[in-house]
Copies of this chain bind each other. A is one copy, B any other.
Amino acid sequence: MDKVNLKRLAKELNLSVSTVSRALSDSYEISLETKEKVRALAQKLNYQPNPYAKSLRKQESSTIAVIIPEIANSFFSLAINGIEEVAQEKGYHVLIYLTHENQLREEAIIRHLLNGRVDGILMSMATQTSAVNHLFELKEKNIPIVFFDRICDQINTVKVVTDDFESGFKATQHLINQGCKKIAYLSVSPNLSIDQKRVNGYLKCIHAHQMEDQVVYCGNNDEQNLSTIKTLFGSTERPDGVFASVEKLALSTYAACEELSLLIPADVKVVSFSNLPTAPLLNPSLTTITQPAYQIGKEAATSLFGALGRNPIELKEREIVVPSTLILRKSTG
């Protein structure tokens, strides 16, 4: 079975390759008659232009990369959903890369993408403080990047985030309103932009009420987090309120309470940033700050696509804030 490419079509129609090419791209300098003959044969033979030849020639790939820490996480899943939606609409392809929170992998991926495989990048960082030299190289190579959720301060570009600070404040205020006297904040990683903003919202609220703050440093290891939280609850001055910076820490908190026979919300009230679809069904249902993950993905993709294509808009430093919603449920009483 011969491959069907422009040459093949040209030969069968006794035309030149360039005429066929132009006919298929509906060029104004080709007669209608010829166009229709070409299109008919192309259809008949099911001609599909070779994307790699096209990319090589045009120096663009109609492909973007999405680099995220993990995918088994409702926030990122939903964000990808939004991204893919916009991409499919615009005729772009989406490559997925997972860093597993590992800086080295992140760096290797970025380095690899310097070769022009993608026209642009959407990224949520593994950590913020990672050496960002590789990101500067992207600028040099003119590969646009848009950050979402976990952003990188040092790079001037569009960043799509939620109102982390305000939401952190609101969540803390809610715990105080519910009568909490001692509120702990569970930090997932002080290197992350989101964690920093959320903790600052928390601290501002705590201090506005002349209360004592307590920031507990957790990590990405579930078992370790569980033991950290159990230790926290075992201390003499056990907190009566917990603010989890990310949903996995809320789940560990639930697990810790289960093991220690602490009752939520009677003994401890819990609020968490989370996009879990099961938040309302947990035991007890979890009060969440729910981020508009799908919307964030869409916004980020839309911004990126604005910087691609025929008349690209340069990506200037800009923060697009899509606000979160505090959803009250039983875990805070």
Contacts and interface: CB of A to CB of B under 8 A. Distances in A.
Nearest to A283: B283
Interface in A38-68: 46, 48-53, 55-56, 61, 63
A71 B61 contact: no
Contacts of A183: none
Contacts of A21: none
A277 interface: yes
Contacts of A277: 72, 251
A78 interface: yes
A contact face: mostly helix, strand, loop, or mixed: mixed
Contact of A81 (B72, B85, B116, B284): B72
Contact of A115 (B50, B96, B283, B285): B50
B96 A94 contact: yes
B283 A50 contact: no
Interface residues of A, number: 49
A122 interface: no
Of the candidates A140, A254, A278, the one having the most CB atoms from chain B within 10 angstroms of its own CB is A278
Interface string A231-273: 0000000000000000000010011000000000000000000
Contact of A95 (B74, B80, B93, B114): B93
A113 to B, nearest CB: 9
Given A48-B115, A55-B52, A115-B49, A81 B71 contact: yes
A124 to B, nearest CB: 15
A81 B81 CA distance: 16
Contacts of A53: 56
A115 B4 CA distance: 10
A74 B71 contact: no
Contact of A71 (B80, B93, B276): B80
15 contacts: A46-B114, A52-B52, A52-B117, A70-B81, A71-B84, A72-B78, A72-B81, A72-B277, A81-B98, A94-B96, A94-B97, A95-B96, A255-B281, A281-B282, A281-B283
Interface of A: 1, 46, 48-53, 55-56, 61, 63, 70-74, 77-78, 80-81, 84-85, 88, 93-98, 105, 112, 114-117, 137, 140, 251, 254-255, 276-278, 281-285
